[in-house]
């Protein structure tokens, strides 16, 4: 393979224009067409007023064109924290225009369509960019409660891409597939910029489900997979790793910690182990590791050029590196332990930034937006353990008199729906609280403090003992949930039911379907009736079973079905109604 180019001189000299740059749908776009698209958009921007342009797209090819064209036009590129309408509206007074692809914009800010090619341009006009002066503004959740703008020079990104290419470049040609968006720094670097400078194509579309990755394997070979812990965890019980490994030249995971047992399971089979990368928008990449043994996970190794230091009292990590936007060091908010060989171990966050399904969210931001509601007097939001063994946000609220009146008049379901609706323009669905409690006062100690344990106790409705199955795998969608469960013999419900042949009572199967449905779909209505209830085959201790749920929002109807490889066990429809 050719040596990597710098982003700032990607088109100088032109190079091999017939090599593939990207795959959009079923069409392969070569480097010549890519240069033409960039040149046309750059000319269009140069003919317009305005310095800061917000790049608004889910398509990685459109992002690549928009990103480079804006810089070649001498303008500043702005990348959002998310694509939610509320966030984009909030950015309107900080930008001069929006680059769009195939979506409408929620503001009156002028827009330019990325691939319109409405201006004739010569690719020879694409001169080298001054990487030290070219500016990129990214957004990420901050401790103040609002998305924070992170200013970086192109030089910072070039330094990081060069480090990635020197450290991780496969020895053979490859194509990049990704399960993470390209408007965040991880996706931007690994999914777009690195393959461009390395001369390797990337797939423009986003892989959202394991089934889509399996289908992609039919047409794409030598895959470099850029993924996340959430996706890799979900795919583990769905995909055949032996089939997967025949197509992969490498796998990267970032955005949050990859559970060591998940990493070790993959790495026991894959030819190239998963490389976990730790970093942030502010710092860029900090360290990496490959976990081969879940019982003895490897520490992280700093990326080339990264220097670490730790506060002796708080154990909080500070970072100095060429990937920072300024000289000096940056304090991360992560607690670590430095080892004598230069590697380090992570011990979690020390601030109010959390990650749900690899989406970085400020708990303070969620609290502030809820506190702005007339129904809310005091609010606290924290991570809790959901019924389905995944982390969710819980919201504990002391209502105002107006809030109590709304609860009495309309019920909990209506109020939580209204509060969720207030958050939806600003936050991804995955990070909106799933659990809600309304209380007269916040729990606190005699010293006036509110320990996390007391907060979490407000959401604990479980009796003592083992009352839940083991979640082996989870697939979720807006209206569907599929869980693969194991029924441990220690379940309370097997006691006395029956001696010598423990089976799971039908009422417990119904209870689990309702509980999982309430959590997955924020279902707060009261139980009304069950239709078409059938029990076909008993469920025994130790058995593995699949629970499928589908929720019809407009009818408040929850369909459930328990099945295994050998049998269909039970099915029915559960009806709810709004609380009075």
Q: Is the pLDDT of residue 579 over 60?
A: no
Q: How far is CA 480 from CA 109, 474, 521, in A?
A: 37, 11, 9
**Packed helices 229-236 and 260-267: angle between N→C axes, nearest 10 degrees:** 60
Rounded to 5°, the CA angle 35-40-46 comes to 120
Q: Is the pLDDT of residue 262 over 80?
A: yes
Predicted confidence band at 448 (pLDDT cuts at 50, 70, 90)?
very low
Q: Indicate the domain borders of the chain.
A: 354-457, 470-577
Q: Residue 500: which region, alpha, beta or left (left: phi > 0; alpha: psi -120 to 50)? A: left
Cα distance between the two ends of the chain: 68
Worst-scoring range by mean pLDDT, 138-142, 247-251, 265-269?
138-142
- Of residues 342 and 256, which shows the higher confidence score? 342
Mean pLDDT, range 466-484, rounded to an integer: 85
Is the pTM of the predicted complex or chain greater than 0.75?
no
Q: Taking Cα atoms as reference points, which of 549, 389, 560 lies closest to residue 480?
A: 549
Q: How far is CA 413 from the centre of its chain?
A: 27
Predicted confidence band at 339 (pLDDT cuts at 50, 70, 90)?
very high
What percent of the chain shows pLDDT beyond 90? 49
Q: Taking Cα atoms as reference points, which of 399, 344, 347 lies closest to residue 374?
A: 399
Q: Which CATH superfamily is domain 354-457 in?
A: ANL, C-terminal domain (3.30.300.30)
CATH of span 470-577: 3.10.129.10
Q: Which helix (H) or strand (E) holds 62?
A: helix 60-72
DSSP string, 191-213: IIIHHHHHT--EESSPP-SHHHH
Mean pLDDT, range 408-433, rounded to an integer: 88
pLDDT for 127 equals 86
pLDDT, averaged across the chain: 87
* Tally: H helices and E strands in the chain: 15, 30
Worst-scoring range by mean pLDDT, 136-150, 176-190, 373-387?
136-150
DSSP category for residue 530: E
Worst-scoring range by mean pLDDT, 114-123, 237-246, 442-451?
442-451
What string of H, E and C letters represents the secondary structure of 236-265? HCCCCHHHHHCCEEEEEECCCCCCHHHHHH
pLDDT for 192 equals 98
Predicted confidence band at 201 (pLDDT cuts at 50, 70, 90)?
very high
pLDDT, tens digit (0-9, with 9 covering 90-100), for 504-539: 888 889 989 988 888 888 777 778 889 889 988 888
Mean pLDDT, range 490-501, rounded to an integer: 64
Rounded Cα distance between 524 and 412, Å, is 7
pLDDT for 277 equals 97
Q: Is the pLDDT of residue 328 over 80?
A: yes
Q: How far is CA 69 from CA 129, 161, 241, 459, in A?
A: 11, 19, 39, 50
Predicted confidence band at 242 (pLDDT cuts at 50, 70, 90)?
confident
- Of residues 72 and 4, which shows the higher confidence score? 72
Rounded Cα distance between 290 and 297, Å, is 8
Predicted confidence band at 447 (pLDDT cuts at 50, 70, 90)?
very low
Rounded Cα distance between 72 and 32, Å, is 16
pLDDT, tens digit (0-9, with 9 covering 90-100), for 263-289: 999 999 999 999 999 999 999 999 999
Q: Is the pLDDT of residue 250 over 70?
A: yes
pLDDT, tens digit (0-9, with 9 covering 90-100), for 559-569: 999 998 888 99
- Of residues 464 and 280, which shows the higher confidence score? 280
Q: Is the pLDDT of residue 118 over 80?
A: no
- Of residues 87 and 72, which shows the higher confidence score? 72
Q: How far is CA 268 from CA 264, 292, 293, 297, 346, in A?
A: 6, 7, 9, 13, 23
Rounded to 5°, the CA angle 76-78-83 comes to 160
């Amino acid at each position: 393979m050719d040596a990597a180019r710098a982003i700032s001189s990607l088109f100088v000299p032109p190079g091999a224009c017939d090599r593939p740059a990207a795959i959009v749908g079923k069409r392969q776009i070569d480097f010549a067409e890519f240069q033409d698209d960039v040149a046309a958009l750059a000319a269009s921007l140069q003919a317009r007023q305005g310095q800061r342009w917000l790049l608004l797209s889910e398509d990685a090819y459109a992002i690549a064109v928009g990103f480079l064209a804006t810089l070649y036009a001498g303008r500043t590129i702005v990348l959002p924290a998310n694509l939610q309408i509320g966030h984009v509206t909030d950015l309107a007074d900080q930008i001069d225009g929006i680059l769009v692809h195939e979506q409408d914009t929620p503001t009156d800010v002028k827009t330019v369509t990325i691939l319109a090619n409405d201006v004739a341009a010569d690719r020879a006009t694409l001169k080298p960019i001054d990487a030290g002066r070219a500016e990129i503004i990214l957004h990420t959740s901050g401790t103040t409660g609002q998305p924070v703008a992170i200013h970086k020079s192109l030089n910072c990104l070039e330094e990081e891409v060069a480090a990635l290419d020197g450290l991780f470049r496969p020895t053979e040609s490859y194509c990049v597939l990704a399960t993470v968006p390209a408007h965040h720094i991880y996706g931007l670097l690994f999914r777009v910029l690195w393959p461009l400078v390395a001369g390797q194509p990337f797939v423009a579309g986003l892989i959202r489900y394991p089934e889509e990755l399996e289908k992609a394997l039919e047409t794409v070979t030598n895959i470099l997979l850029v993924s996340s812990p959430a996706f890799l965890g979900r795919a583990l019980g769905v995909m055949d790793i032996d089939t997967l490994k025949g197509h992969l030249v490498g796998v990267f995971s970032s955005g949050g910690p990859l559970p060591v047992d998940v990493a070790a399971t993959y790495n026991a089979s894959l030819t190239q182990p998963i490389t976990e990368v730790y970093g942030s928008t502010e710092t860029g990449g900090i360290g990496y590791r490959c976990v081969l043994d879940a019982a003895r996970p490897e520490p992280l190794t700093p990326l080339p050029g990264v220097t670490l230091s730790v506060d002796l009292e708080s154990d909080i990590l500070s970072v100095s590196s060429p990937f920072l936007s300024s000289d000096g060091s940056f304090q991360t908010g992560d607690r670590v332990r430095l080892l004598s060989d230069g590697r380090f171990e992570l011990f979690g966050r020390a601030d109010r930034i959390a990650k749900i399904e690899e989406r970085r969210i400020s708990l303070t931001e969620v609290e502030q937006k809820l506190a702005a509601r007339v129904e809310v007097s005091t609010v606290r939001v924290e991570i809790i353990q959901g019924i389905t063994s995944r982390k969710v946000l819980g919201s504990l609220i002391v209502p105002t008199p107006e809030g109590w009146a709304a609860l009495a008049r309309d019920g909990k379901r209506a109020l939580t729906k209204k509060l969720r609706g207030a958050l939806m323009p600003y936050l991804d669905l995955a990070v909106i609280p799933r659990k809600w409690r309304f209380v007269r006062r916040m729990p606190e100690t005699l010293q006036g403090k509110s320990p996390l344990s007391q907060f979490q106790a407000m959401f604990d409705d479980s009796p003592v003992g083992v009352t839940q199955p083991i979640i082996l795998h989870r697939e979720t969608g807006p209206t569907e949930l599929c869980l693969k469960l194991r029924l441990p013999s220690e379940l309370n419900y097997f006691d006395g039911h029956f001696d010598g042949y423990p089976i799971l009572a039908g009422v417990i199967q119904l209870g689990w379907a309702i509980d999982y449905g309430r959590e997955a779909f924020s279902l707060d209505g009261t139980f009304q009736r069950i239709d078409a209830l059938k029990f076909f085959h008993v469920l025994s201790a130790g058995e593995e079973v699949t629970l499928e749920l589908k929720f019809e929002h407009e009818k408040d109807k929850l369909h459930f079905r328990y099945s295994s490889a050998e049998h269909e066990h039970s099915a029915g429809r559960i009806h709810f109604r709004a609380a009075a």
